[in-house]
Amino acid sequence: MYIEKKNVCDNIAGTSMDIEKKREDNINFQFDLAHIGVCLELHAIMIEEGKYIFSYTCYTMSSQEKHTFCEFLVDLKIPNG
């Protein structure tokens, strides 16, 4: 049970904080959306042959938001035990 909760938290944090190798919405995800034809704002845009620009999702944090979130976690006080 603990491992499942940890995996869920890792996936949410990795995706929202844009941590490489922890994200669940990777490059293949954006190509799949284009193939299916949904979420047009998330499709990869080809600028040259083999070079793409990938858009960020609305739930990905900016660097200022990441900094604020990490400060919140450092200052968080929870009961132990």
- Please state, in angstroms and rounded to a whole number, the distance separating the CA atoms of residues 51 and 79: 50
Query: Are the beta carbons of 53 and 47 closer than 8 angstroms?
Result: yes
Which structural domain range is residue 36 located in? 2-75
Domain count, the chain: 1
Whether residue 81 lies inside any domain: the answer is no
Whether residue 41 lies inside any domain: the answer is yes
Whether residue 65 lies inside any domain: the answer is yes
pLDDT at 68: 92
Whether residue 32 lies inside any domain: the answer is yes
pLDDT under 50 in the chain at which residues? none
